[in-house]
Structure 1
Amino acid sequence: MRTDDLLVLLRGVLLDAHATPVVLTPATSEPSITIDVDASDAAEAAQLLRDALPAGLTLPAVVCLTSGEDRVTVTARHLPGAVPVPDPRDGAAGSAASRAGVVAGRVALVTGGAQGFGEGIVRALHASGAWVFIADLNLDGATALAKELGERATAVGCNVADEDSVAHLAATIVATCGGIDLVVSNAGIARAGSVLEQDLAAFALSTDVNYTAFFLVTKHLGRVLRLQNVAAPDWATDIIQINSKSGLVGSNRNGAYAGSKFGGIGLVQSFALELVESRIKVNAICPGNFFDGPLWSDPVNGLFVQYLRSGKVPGATEVEEVRAFYESKVPMGRGALGADVMRALYYIVEQAYETGQAVPVTGGQVMLSS
């Protein structure tokens, strides 16, 4: 088997044994354990790893895996603050972890993580003790953010609409940490315009980034999560799409965006049904408008500017009037904030008995209906 697959299986075996998040990082020191894995499938390889690891192995430990002529050496360790995960079948109220604590020590990915909502999610996950991969087409921005955050932050350049780029992202995560626990598919784009006038290229771009990219991210990172589950069948993992309130209700003169987000909810529900057998939960968060982020406030291509140009707000002649119009539509009187999204994200990770859901975080602007 390939050594990157063996890394995922090794992490799964350790997760299964410790019930505590583990990272596998490249090591140059001499290994304390060397395991030669000659197996025909993942299940056999996982069992060989279980049998070869000493009972009661304490971490950190330096482990060398060999398969044929291939060889990889890693340090297996818990990140500071990592805590054992409670048994989800324990119904006692005290068994629930604190919201932020549910990601401590876990390995997470945030696509579109260099700015806006994505940057807020990266910062919050990192502050909560996770190792965060910041994937973005803007590699300079992702690198600067990773440098600012320091240890446990890794920047990866990625075009989420390109399959080779997403496959490289998945391979980088495995080579760096051995596997992953939380995938946040956040990268998105909005190109407003009338259905009677919008050109096909703008429509297709929204579809590629908001819809097709979620398929690609789930395909390649889901394979890692599924393989990890072979060795850790009781370890639950999460794929979370950052969707939009426009995935729940239509959006006037913004059909490309709304259509791609509606489609994303369909993918969430379908992927949830398929991946549940590998204990992969798939859910969506549908935030209201993040007025202070670049999607809305960018002075050149932000939605406030686009909506002013397209005449979406009758009578508006200035950007400030467009903003005031949209703020007035929110019962709670403000746009969504990063903290609002994070509370929903922590809830989804903590919730052991939900998958295929779209959680609105809209200040009451969009409410669930039967």
Structure 2
Amino acid sequence: MLEDNFEEKKLDYIQIILICVSVALMIYSASYIYFYYDYNDLLRHFPENYNSDKESLSPNEIGDSIGGTLNPIIGFTGSILTFLAFYIQYKSNKQQVDLFKKQIKNEKFKQKEDLENRHKITLRIFKSLIFQMLSYYKESGENLQKFILLEKQKPLEPNIFKFVTDASYVYFKEVNFTEIYEAMIWYFNLDNNHFNNWEDEFTRTLTKIDFYDKLISELQIKYLEHVKSKTKNLNEVGSELDNRMGEILSDEYFKNSSENGIDDYFRIIHNKNKEGVQIKEDFDGIDFFDLQQNFFNVFIKSLMAKKNILEFLNRNKDFSERLKDKEFVRIMENLDVFSKLNKRIGTEIQQTKYYVNNLDEYFNSYFSEDSKQLKSISDFISKINLK
């Protein structure tokens, strides 16, 4: 642009020389006529010139004399002026062509500049969305880690897995990937970039972004299935326990025993003692782990003790005859039911452990600080360093 302005300011020496010569010739012609008329006293009198024979000349002959002298000069001056007129027209046309070329050049430069700006904007949007999603993945990983810790500490409680919300992936899917790809080509083809394998990294990055979105959705679905199954199983255990305990509490054997776990049943299930007095003000629900350890384990032993007593009392009877004894049948049925309830709680603990082990693998592979997946995404985006 500076060179163009410099060229416009350069002097046109040809035009100056032609003008100077033309002006000089016109001045010379005018001076010649003036001095001729003045010398022959023609400015104040009619022309009375004489030839060499002292004969008077007519005005036409005087004109012919002046014309014969000045015509070559005037003709030459006219030729110069004509050439000057054509030259000025040529220069004007050339300036118009040059101006048109400059306009095209400026328009192309502006288009190129606009395209570069559009590429920069596209890449900035792309980077911003990727970094926002990386933050979302890291926050999801932190919540996953907290949930895993809760599940390990309290496997029989409906622990909450907090899923954060983020719209960056929704916006990311609406981006025109053709424009992103063109912007990538523009950026990585710059002189200061030499990443020959950027296309492979770009494709892998897009694949990983899509994978993480599906992974988090899958974690949410599995969590809902897990907590729903856990809640359903434990609620069924609690409901069946309440149904069975009505019959148990009417049995004098268990009512009068102090070491059969009945006190723990009231404490854990109803937050009351045998007399119906509330124990805790901040009771937050049934602790099934406490129920298994301090009620089922003790109470099942009490059921086994009564079964042994009944078997001792009926030792002279065979098993088929014992089954006719309603009390023996009832104690066998309760022993079976309570054993199954206890087993369901144990099974739920094992299922939770299996579920947590899977979550641990997910966390270590995809969400931990040492995750190669997140690092590879971050490394690729960091290569796009716009100024």
TM range (shorter): under 0.3
**TM-score normalised to the size of structure 1?**
0.22
Max Rg structure? 2
Q: Which has the higher helix share?
A: 2
Structure-2-length-normalised TM-score: 0.22
